[in-house]
Amino acid sequence: YFSIVKTANQNIVEMEIEKMFRRFAIAEKMLEERGLDDEHEKLIRALVIDEDIDDRTNSIFIELVGNIVTQCE
């Protein structure tokens, strides 16, 4: 991921990172609106080492790199 980000068109990289942060902000807002933000924070601390979370993180990286590479071709 990081090597691709360094060599790809920086405008595309910035745009894709901004999209990803926007998704996180929307998810966070949804949790807050449902009163689940405290529970979310507890889970973040509890799931520091978790294979499912690692797999999901890897999927996000793959999606992000795929979006960047597709637009740079």
pLDDT at residue 70, rounded to an integer: 93
Write down the pTM of the prediction. Answer: 0.75
Given pLDDT bands bounded at 50, 70 and 90, which one contains residue 20?
very high
Helix crossing, 37-46 with 10-33: angle to 10°? 120
Choose among 44, 15, 10: nearest CA to 27: 44
pLDDT at residue 34, rounded to an integer: 92
Choose among 38, 39, 5: nearest CA to 20: 5
What's the whole-number average pLDDT of the chain? 91
